[in-house]
């Protein structure tokens, strides 16, 4: 498209808002290559139960808010997020979207106009949808919500883990480690009584995390499995990974033994309320003899 920048998508997902009682809408969302969070134009109009038609140009405001009686309520904050963004759809065609903040700002536009008694009768149905959407959006920044629903949040966590653990565990394991399910790390944090916020960890906690991986995962693997992981890891960089992380407890890792062992390890973690209890349970399941030192 001449003169128009079309962005590639890094992660895709759906914002699911509402329920059967009040109505439910699913709005496609994405994180672009420039890390811009967007919602699809088609999804926004469908959520407001409005037909979609071509926008006039790239700088004009969306026609869903172009009615004259709405203009007094169009803020600078809203105008800043109304420019259509072009991106590639699954099928390779070019689609249109808006910055994610456009969705709650659009809802607030209709709510403010109604409070001032300026909505027409035909616009009342859009108000109903606006109230439903804004009332059922989680109380968090919509960009964070897009990160969660597209799996980008987990992708950032995996990258953080790999970057910060690379000097504390064998580099041959790093690519395998990126495939570990999220709840594996969540249990490690819980057992150490840490709030689950990987980005807040300091060096002491990072070393403890690395020690856990070394002691209870990698050290437990048979030597032939360790050699296989280290040998295969470099070739895995070019393999295609799922666009969105699995929400099941474990993913289908490429090494059967590691997969089975990880399933068992997560089960032991789930049944433990503290690190002390985990060590006892680990001992029972994997029959490891711990050396006890009495002071």
* pLDDT average, residue stretch 208-233: 82
Instruction: Tell me what pLDDT residue 252 has.
Output: 43
Please write the tens of the pLDDT for every residue from 21-74: 888 899 999 999 999 999 999 999 999 998 877 655 444 689 899 899 999 999
Please calculate the CA angle 171-198-169 and round it to the nearest 5 degrees. Answer: 15
Q: Are 25 and 17 in contact (CB under 8 A)?
A: yes
Instruction: Tell me what pLDDT residue 247 has.
Output: 37
**pLDDT greater at residue 149 or residue 253:** 149
**pLDDT greater at residue 275 or residue 3:** 275
Residues 160, 167: Cα–Cα separation, whole Å: 13
Q: Are 136 and 143 in contact (CB under 8 A)?
A: no
Please write the tens of the pLDDT for every residue from 91-122: 889 999 999 999 999 999 999 999 999 999 99
Q: What is the mean pLDDT of the chain?
A: 83
First-to-final CA distance of the chain: 74
Residues 35, 12: Cα–Cα separation, whole Å: 12
Residue 237 has pLDDT above 80, yes or no: no
Residue 236 has pLDDT above 60, yes or no: no
Percent of the chain with pLDDT over 90: 51
Please write the tens of the pLDDT for every residue from 265-293: 999 999 999 999 999 999 999 875 444 44
What is the pLDDT confidence band of residue 294, given thresholds at 50, 70 and 90? very low
Residue 17 has pLDDT above 70, yes or no: yes
State both tokens at 111: 């709510």
* Sequence-distant (≥ 6) Cβ neighbours of residue 279 within 8 angstroms: 290
């Amino acid at each position: 498209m001449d003169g128009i920048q079309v962005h590639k998508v890094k992660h895709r997902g759906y914002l699911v808002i509402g329920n059967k009682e009040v109505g439910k809408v699913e709005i496609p969302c994405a994180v672009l290559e420039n890390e811009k969070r967007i919602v699809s134009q088609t999804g926004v109009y469908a959520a407001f139960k409005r037909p979609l038609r071509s926008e006039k140009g790239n700088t004009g405001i969306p026609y869903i808010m172009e009615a004259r009686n709405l203009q007094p309520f169009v803020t600078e904050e809203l105008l800043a997020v109304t420019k259509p963004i072009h991106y590639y759809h699954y099928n390779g065609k070019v689609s249109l979207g808006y910055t994610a903040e456009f969705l709650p700002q659009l809802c607030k536009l209709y709510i403010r106009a109604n409070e001032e008694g300026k909505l027409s009768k035909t616009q009342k149905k859009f108000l109903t949808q606006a109230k439903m959407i804004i009332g059922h959006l989680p109380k968090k920044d919509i960009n964070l919500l897009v990160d969660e629903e597209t799996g980008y949040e987990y992708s950032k966590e995996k990258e953080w883990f790999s970057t910060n653990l690379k000097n504390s565990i064998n580099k041959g394991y790093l690519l395998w480690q990126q495939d570990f399910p999220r709840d594996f790390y969540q249990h490690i944090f819980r057992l150490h009584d840490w709030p689950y916020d990987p980005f807040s960890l300091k060096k002491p906690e990072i070393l403890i995390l690395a020690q856990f991986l070394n002691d209870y995962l990698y050290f437990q693997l048979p030597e032939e499995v360790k050699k296989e992981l280290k040998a295969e890891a470099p070739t895995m960089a070019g393999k295609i990974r799922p666009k969105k992380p699995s929400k099941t407890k474990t993913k289908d890792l490429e090494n059967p033994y590691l997969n089975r062992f990880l399933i068992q390890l997560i089960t032991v973690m789930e049944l433990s309320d503290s690190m002390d209890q985990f060590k006892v349970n680990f001992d029972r399941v994997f029959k490891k003899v711990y050396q006890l030192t009495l002071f």
